[in-house]
Amino acid sequence: MHKLVLVRHGESEWNKSNLFTGWTDVDLSSKGVKEAQEAGQMLKEHKFDFDIAYTSYLRRAIKTLYFIQDEMNLLWIPTYKTWQLNERHYGALQGLSKLTTAQKYGEEQVMLWRRSYDVLPPALTKEDERYPRNDPKYRDVPDELIPLTESLKETIIRVEDYWLHEMKPQIQAGKKIIIVAHGNSLRALVKYLDNLSAEEIMQVNIPTGTPLVYTLDEQLRPVEKYYLGSDTRVEQKMEKVADPDRVME
């Protein structure tokens, strides 16, 4: 059997302000730092150990992983960062208030952009200062892979590719890994691991700063899945994620 731990980053400054974030590289809020530290403490208390860590190119995930590793005295293990674990790219919605956007376009349209499987948000243009090519983090990413917008479907494609070629072989080799990423990049993994339909994954809400533990068999099929922490607190965090006015992408 293999253990796999997924953690969504702690609350970010833009989560707190209820803005569409996507690939915008915002920092953790003070609450997010605390959530990350508490996640590390829970993992330590439950005697988890890791050989390798994976995260995205975005600081809210990188810092969450750092605080977890610091609490667990695991800052020394190999850590791999990849754009393929980035949050879903929200295109021209990035930086906009979710509440104001809902008032302008209607809640139904905004919910389609946010929670549907294959509906694309309005795209950026390459002339927009938010275009990822303007950020040196993405200088080695081929132009054709740099998104102007993404649905969950496109996010799943890039996350699955990294899982199959990079992370899955490490688990099969017996390595214990932790993945710290984002709401939608982790939903992509959950969809793949749990073999969920496009309709089923739309109902999945992953709370911030709460370790999600999978026990996988030798074929890496889930045999058990649970969150660390009290059921009440996990449910409260899920409800906050699911709330259209307070969801944290």
Residues involved in catalysis: 9, 87
Q: Residues 95, 82, 176, 172: is their CA dihedral positive or negative?
A: positive
Structure tokens at 186: 């982790």
Residue 249: name the closest of 186, 173, 179 by CA. 186
Rounded CA-CA distance 146/39 in Å is 32
**Run of H or E residues at 98:** helix 98-105
Helix (H) or strand (E) holding 183: helix 183-194
DSSP string, 227-248: ESS-HHHHHHHHHHHH-TTT--
The span from the CA of 209 to the CA of 100, in Å, is 27
Any bridge partners for residue 214, and if so which? 4, 225
Taking the C-alpha atoms of residue 132 and residue 244, their distance in angstroms, rounded to an integer, is: 27
Q: Are 183 and 249 in contact (CB under 8 A)?
A: yes
Closest CA to 66 of 55, 57, 201: 55
The answer for residues whose C-beta is within 8 angstroms of residue 36's C-beta and 6 or more apart is 9, 10, 28, 63, 64, 65, 66, 67, 68, 209
